[in-house]
Amino acid sequence: MDLDVDYATTLVAAVLLGVGFVLQQYAAAQEPDSRFLSWRILTDLLRQPRWLLGIGCMVAGYGLAAWSIGHLELTLVEPLLTTYLVWALFLAVPMSRQSVKAAEVTGALILCAGVALLSASRSATPIGLSFGSLSHWYAAAIIAGVAFVAVQVGHRRQGQVRATLTGLGAGLVFGIQDALTRQTLQIVQGHSWTILFSTWSAYALLGAGIVGIWLMQSAFSAGPLHYSLPTIAAGEPVAGIALGILVFGDRIQISPGMLAIEAGGIAALIVGVVAVAQSSAFSGLHKITDVIRPGAEADDHPAPRPTLDTSPNGKHPTGPKRSKGSEARKLSRPAHRRQVHDSPSGGDIR
Per-residue pLDDT at 138: 87
Burial string for 167-200 (b: 16+ CB within 10 Å, else e) reads bbbbbbbbbbbbbbbbbbbbbbeeeeeeebeeee
Per-residue pLDDT at 169: 95
Say how many CA atoms lie within 13 Å of 346 toward its Cβ.
0
Residue of 119, 159, 101, 154 whose CA lies nearest to 275: 101
Q: DSSP class of residue 310? A: -
Contacts of residue 266, Cβ cutoff 8 Å, sequence gap at least 6: 114, 118
Strand partners, 252: 122
Helix (H) or strand (E) holding 128: none
Sign, Cα dihedral of 266, 269, 272, 278: negative
> With a cut of 50, which residues of the chain have pLDDT below it?
124-131, 291-303, 307-308, 310, 314, 316, 318-321, 323-324, 326-350
Residue of 290, 164, 300, 324 whose CA lies nearest to 235: 164
Cα gap 242→207, rounded to integer Å:
20
Q: DSSP class of residue 121? A: T
Per-residue pLDDT at 252: 64
Per-residue pLDDT at 58: 92
Put simply, whether the predicted model's pTM sits higher than 0.75 gets the answer no
DSSP E strand boundaries for 118-214: 122-123
Per-residue pLDDT at 162: 92
Say how many CA atoms lie within 13 Å of 46 toward its Cβ.
7
One-letter identity of residue 89:
L
Q: DSSP class of residue 189? A: T
